[in-house]
Amino acid sequence: MKKIIYLVGNKKFKQEPFEPFSLEVCKFLDIFSKRLSALKEIKKYPDLKSLSFWCRKKNILKFKNEEKDLNFKIGLGLVFHITPSNVPTNFAYSLIFGLLSGNSNVIKVPSRKFKQIEIICKILKKLLLKFSFLKGRITIVRYQDNDEFTSKLSYLCNARVIWGGDKTINSIRNHKIQERAIELSFADRYSFCIMDTNKIMKLNNLEINNLVHNFYNDTYAVDQNACTSPHLIVWIGKNKKKIENKFWKKLYEITKLKYNLQPFSSIEKFTDTCKYIISKDNIKSIKIFDNLIHKIEIKSLDSDNHLMRGKWGLFFEFYTMSLNNLKNIINNKYQTLTYFGVNKEDLKKLLIKNNLKGVDRIVPIGQSLNISLKWDGYNVVNSLTRTIEVR
């Protein structure tokens, strides 16, 4: 068996379930949040700052209050988490899903040595010295190409949680799980954004600055790698030239000040833009802002729009006068819809009245990265617990 590196915990992991939102877990997460936010280096890592804010006591209690019939639930036992290679903090959210649901957890983290993973694991190891109840219930491992270990954990676990692309999920599914074990797969998804041009034109300098900062956080803060980051912007209304001057120029100012575009990323983004120019026949115009922003306006919305994706600041945009133009393109690949200036009830009606299979989240711009316990259409606590019927 190839080498397994235990970043937190060891081979002696527990498999017993416990009650969801246990007092010990809530205390543990509260202290974890405080220690993470107290780090001097957290300013370098917006994703760590978001994580510390997300698992603070107030937010965890809000999640608990949203759940019903917790007295009749208990965890499933052992959850095996396989987390994505391109989002450093995803494993921490997946772990917290498991803990809040009352489960012991083994988490496989990316083989790439992200600094964020090192920071989180260091805090967890220290905290586990004080929380004996959770010892053996948090095991974090790193390994590559070890089908033997993956098969072993897959058959031992009571639930398997897979984050990643379609290829990764199908590969993991070659490893059998127990007959009563369940599996949650958070697959490759596509997200987009809708903004009303008329509402944007009425914003003052402070308001447009806040909107664009929020958009920046949804996208550039994670290099558009998160499944929640929008690739397509649908503009409702006219004002095309005015939007370019107001929204895109403000975004350019912010990226120029804040975003560190690496040479490799810059080359790959430019290459991707060229590929789209060559391969797509519905491109109307292209504008590049010092290679920090590439925006490609498309002539039409097609059923394969979810295949047109950008990273590091490559966006597609489409102007329309009606939300109804979206109903023919939304499929089960669509996950998060962020919005500004559009009535959320109208967006909800668009999905439900047209019986659409896609879009699991509708959130304001700036909140796309705010993970909740309702994710990808799953109620995670319900999925990772067993409900006991008592009459």
pLDDT tens track, the chain, 391 positions: 578 999 999 889 999 999 999 999 999 999 999 999 999 888 888 889 889 999 999 999 999 998 878 889 999 999 999 998 888 999 999 999 999 999 999 999 998 889 999 999 999 999 999 999 999 999 999 998 889 999 999 999 999 999 988 888 999 999 999 999 999 998 888 999 999 999 999 999 999 999 999 999 999 988 888 889 999 999 998 877 888 889 999 999 999 999 988 889 999 999 999 999 998 888 999 999 989 999 999 999 988 888 899 999 999 999 999 998 898 899 999 999 999 999 999 999 999 999 999 999 999 999 998 888 888 888 999 999 999 988 8
Predicted confidence at residue 214, as pLDDT, reads: 95
Whether the CB-CB separation of 224 and 313 falls below 8 Å is answered with yes
pTM of the model: 0.85
At 97, the amino acid letter reads F
Predicted confidence at residue 1, as pLDDT, reads: 52
Predicted confidence at residue 151, as pLDDT, reads: 95
Domains in the chain with CATH codes: 5-187+376-387 (3.40.605.10), 190-364 (3.40.309.10)
**Antiparallel, parallel or unpaired: β 374-375 and 190-196:** unpaired
For residue 136, give every residue at least 6 positions away whose Cβ sits within 8 Å of its Cβ, in sequence order, or none: 9, 12, 13, 14, 104
Q: How far is the C-alpha of 387 from the C-alpha of 241, rounded, in Å? A: 56
> What tokens does 290 get?
């010092």
- Helices 23-37 + 115-128 axis angle, to 10: 130
CB atoms near residue 221 (< 10 Å): 20
Whether the CB-CB separation of 209 and 249 falls below 8 Å is answered with no
**Antiparallel, parallel or unpaired: β 190-196 and 334-340:** parallel
Q: How far is the C-alpha of 335 from the C-alpha of 312, rounded, in Å? A: 20
> What tokens does 307 get?
């295949």
> What is the 8-class DSSP label of residue 41?
G
Using a 10 angstrom Cβ sphere, with 0-12 exposed, 13-18 middle and 19 or more buried, the burial of residue 365 is: buried
CB atoms near residue 193 (< 10 Å): 23
